[in-house]
A = this chain, B = another copy of it.
Amino acid sequence: MNVDERLLADCHRLGTLERATVLLHRNAAVGWLILVPDTGAEDWHELDDAEYERVNAQIRALCGWGADWFEADKMNVATLGNQVAQMHVHIIARHRDDACWPAPVWGQLPESDAGYDDATVAGLRAALARDLRLAASEQDA
């Protein structure tokens, strides 16, 4: 599936779930997963029944997984799409001592030089493959 270049520029591509791509935002100040469903819908209510069920199940799984992996105090889940219209769901692990708590991350999270090293990204991929059957995508980077 095609993923908008602006999302890819900000993220590591972790792999794929059924008809969806999973990304990891490069800003490691928060644990920030992005689910990109393979759909032409841009808004929630435009998803058809099968899409709605599938996307919600994936959100639920990623939210629970992210809460554990990042030892989150709170999960933030959001679809905005004001800048990149392609539907994508932010699933963000927040901590009471993170860089912009309690504000939302968008536009308020300082740019961070602290990115993920290759081993950390590989570890995330392996754990998601084990726990949620994330499949490798050819373009992992």
Contacts and interface: CB of A to CB of B under 8 A. Distances in A.
Interface of A: 42-45, 47, 52, 56, 59-61, 63-64, 67, 74-83, 85, 94, 101-104, 106-108
Nearest to A83: B102
Contacts of A80: 74, 76, 78, 104
Contacts of A78: 76-80, 104
Nearest to A108: B107
A101 B81 CA distance: 11
Q: How many copies does the complex hold?
A: 2
B75 A44 contact: yes
Contact of A44 (B43, B47, B52, B60): B60
A67 B106 CA distance: 22
Nearest to A94: B82
A45 B93 CA distance: 12
A75 to B, nearest CB: 5
A79 B77 contact: yes
B63 A45 contact: yes
B44 A74 contact: no
